[in-house]
């Protein structure tokens, strides 16, 4: 036997993070995803910031960028200065972003967002109450021009309003494709409208969209089916957060609820599911069997919540996930993919520039060199 070479030819454990993959119709260069990140920098008319093209293009070495949560209609807005995808100027603004990302060799999908009850009357057209599955106010905060405020009490959506709501998602998905996105992600996480229908702490409806698990998952499935019919299921993902309490969310039995939801999403043959494991941006050790969800889905499985280089590599190497989404690390490190590949030091996050503001803390985090 010959002696072992000094430099081992065996791949380092993180190598799998850098292997290409097909995610539905989207060919991604690696397993590293930029999570959707609200930055509250949209310009007048909720048009993406003029800086957004540079911000996303700086991060285009991610296998996939998920653009920040973007409201599908004016009523879907819940925070100051978040972008939309319902008006021509917004579509034109996003086209500048997707062109810049594609020119840099990246792939980008848009997260379709309706906040439901996580809003404030001052952000709603005509100053009216936001909508929700049930007229139950969340104990949650939002940011308006007045600063941090309690969200407003919502009114319950009438059954006859739901077809138009689904149509609004379909239109938004079409608009995203017109804006040059490679696909869309249905935001069904973090206590926004679709999640409010899913979980029984916020859904007390007596109609076909409330009560049983099947009924509470109906809006998610009808929205996702409509979006998939409009742009192709192979360009659609969905984000869920089965046990996150963020935005005052709770459910009496999340395991069977989300197993059912994932089975139904599987039947639609969408490209991926993106799951926030535990508390959004917080604890991961809540009692929930995420592997049981994964077993029910044939598409790509994307995980998120506090991953680092080692835990991300382990998730890919063990087959627990196909893709890992990073949020805070991507804000502070435009070249996160290179830094993970080289195991280089990471920039620290400046939390004071997360929400709102200008280029500072947005496009001025340095790359290596
Ligand atoms: C932080 C601040 C505002 C919105 C989410 C879209 O949690 C958000 C969000 C996060 O999904």
Q: Is ligand 1 within 6 A of the CB of residue 82?
A: no
Q: Which atom of ligand 1 is nearest to the CA of 187?
A: 11
- Bridge partner list, 28: 21
Confidence tier at 13 by pLDDT (50, 70, 90): confident
Q: What is the mean pLDDT of residues 78-98?
A: 98
Q: Which atom of ligand 1 is nearest to the CA of 189?
A: 11
Could you tell me if 82 and 42 are in contact, meaning their C-beta atoms sit under 8 angstroms apart?
yes
Confidence tier at 7 by pLDDT (50, 70, 90): low
Q: Is ligand 1 within 6 A of the CB of residue 26?
A: no
Q: What is the mean pLDDT of residues 132-137?
A: 99
Q: Is ligand 1 within 6 A of the CB of residue 79?
A: yes
| Three-state secondary structure call for residue 198 | helix
Mutating to test ligand 1, I would choose from 69, 72, 148 the residue with most ligand atoms within 8 A of its C-beta, which is 69
Q: Which of 248, 265, 259 is nearest to 213 (CA)?
A: 259
CATH class, domain 21-343, is alpha beta
Residue 83: enclosing H or E segment and its boundaries? Answer: none
Q: What is the pLDDT of residues 160-183, one digit of tens each?
A: 999 999 999 999 999 999 999 999
Mutating to test ligand 1, I would choose from 34, 37, 38 the residue with most ligand atoms within 8 A of its C-beta, which is 38
Tell me the pairing of strands 272-276 and 26-28: unpaired
Maximum Cα–Cα distance across the chain? 80
Q: How far is the CA of 12 from the centre of ligand 1 (A)?
A: 35
Residue 6 has pLDDT above 90, yes or no: no
Number of H helices, E strands in the chain: 11, 14
Ligand 1 atom 10: residue of nearest CA: 38
Contacts of 279 (CB under 8 A, 6+ apart): 243, 244, 245, 246, 286, 305
Q: Is ligand 1 within 6 A of the CB of residue 38?
A: yes
Mutating to test ligand 1, I would choose from 118, 190, 241, 304 the residue with most ligand atoms within 8 A of its C-beta, which is 190
Tell me the pairing of strands 323-326 and 300-304: parallel
Q: Is the pTM of this model over 0.75?
A: yes
Domain residue limits, the chain: 21-343
Q: Is ligand 1 within 6 A of the CB of residue 301?
A: no
Q: Which of 289, 292, 263, 264 is nearest to 278 (CA)?
A: 289
Q: What is the pLDDT of residues 197-238, one digit of tens each?
A: 999 999 999 999 999 999 999 999 999 999 999 999 999 999
pLDDT value, residue 12: 55
Confidence tier at 1 by pLDDT (50, 70, 90): very low
Check residue 250 and give left, alpha or beta (phi > 0: left; psi -120 to 50: alpha): beta
Q: How far is the CA of 105 from the centre of ligand 1 (A)?
A: 27
Q: What is the pLDDT of residues 246-265, one digit of tens each?
A: 999 999 999 999 999 999 99
Q: What is the pLDDT of residues 265-319, one digit of tens each?
A: 999 999 999 999 999 999 999 999 999 999 999 999 999 999 999 999 999 999 9
Q: Which atom of ligand 1 is nearest to the CA of 355?
A: 2
Rg (CA), the chain: 20
User: CA-to-CA distance for 340 and 316, rounded, in angstroms?
Assistant: 14
The distance from CA 322 to its chain's CA centroid, rounded to whole angstroms, is: 16
Ligand 1 atom 4: residue of nearest CA: 38
Q: Which residues are catalytic?
A: 192
| Three-state secondary structure call for residue 285 | coil
Q: How far is the CA of 15 from the centre of ligand 1 (A)?
A: 31
Q: What is the pLDDT of residues 19-48, one digit of tens each?
A: 999 999 999 999 999 999 999 999 999 999
In 179-267 the beta strands, taken as DSSP E runs, fall at 183-188, 236-240
Ligand 1 atom 2: residue of nearest CA: 38
Q: What is the mean pLDDT of residues 80-108?
A: 98
Could you tell me if 265 and 221 are in contact, meaning their C-beta atoms sit under 8 angstroms apart?
yes
């Amino acid at each position: 036997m010959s002696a072992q070479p000094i430099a081992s030819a065996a791949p380092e454990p993180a190598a799998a993070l850098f292997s290409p993959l097909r995610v539905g119709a989207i060919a991604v260069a690696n397993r590293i995803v930029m999570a959707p990140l609200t930055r509250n920098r949209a310009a007048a008319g909720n048009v993406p910031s003029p800086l957004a093209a540079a911000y996303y293009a700086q991060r285009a070495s991610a296998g996939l960028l998920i653009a920040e949560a973007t409201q599908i209609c004016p009523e879907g807005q819940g925070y100051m200065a978040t972008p939309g995808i319902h008006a021509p100027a917004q579509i034109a603004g996003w086209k500048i972003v997707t062109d810049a990302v594609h020119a840099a060799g990246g792939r980008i999908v848009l997260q379709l967002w309706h906040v439901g009850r996580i809003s404030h009357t001052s952000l709603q057209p005509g100053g009216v109450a936001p909508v929700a599955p049930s007229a139950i106010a969340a104990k949650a905060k939002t940011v308006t021009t007045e600063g941090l405020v309690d969200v407003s009490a919502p009114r319950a959506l009438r059954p006859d309003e739901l077809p138009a709501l689904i149509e609004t998602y379909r239109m938004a998905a079409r608009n995203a494709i017109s804006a040059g996105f490679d696909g869309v992600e249905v935001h069904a996480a973090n206590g926004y409208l679709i999640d409010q229908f899913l979980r029984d702490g916020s859904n007390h409806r007596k109609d076909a969209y409330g009560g049983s698990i099947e009924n509470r998952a109906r809006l998610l499935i009808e929205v996702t089916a409509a979006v998939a019919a409009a742009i192709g299921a192979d360009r659609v993902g969905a984000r869920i957060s089965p046990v996150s309490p963020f935005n005052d969310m709770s459910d009496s039995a999340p395991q069977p609820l989300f197993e059912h939801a994932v089975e139904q999403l599987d039947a639609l043959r969408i490209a991926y599911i993106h799951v926030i494991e535990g508390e959004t941006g917080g604890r991961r050790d809540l009692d929930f069997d995420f592997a049981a969800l994964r077993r029910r889905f044939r598409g790509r499985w994307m995980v998120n919540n506090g991953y680092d280089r080692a835990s991300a590599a382990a998730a890919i190497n063990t087959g627990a996930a196909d893709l890992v989404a990073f949020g805070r690390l991507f804000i502070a490190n435009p070249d996160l993919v290179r830094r993970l590949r080289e195991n280089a030091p990471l920039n620290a996050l400046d939390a004071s520039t997360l929400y709102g503001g200008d280029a500072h803390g947005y496009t001025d985090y340095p790359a290596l060199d």
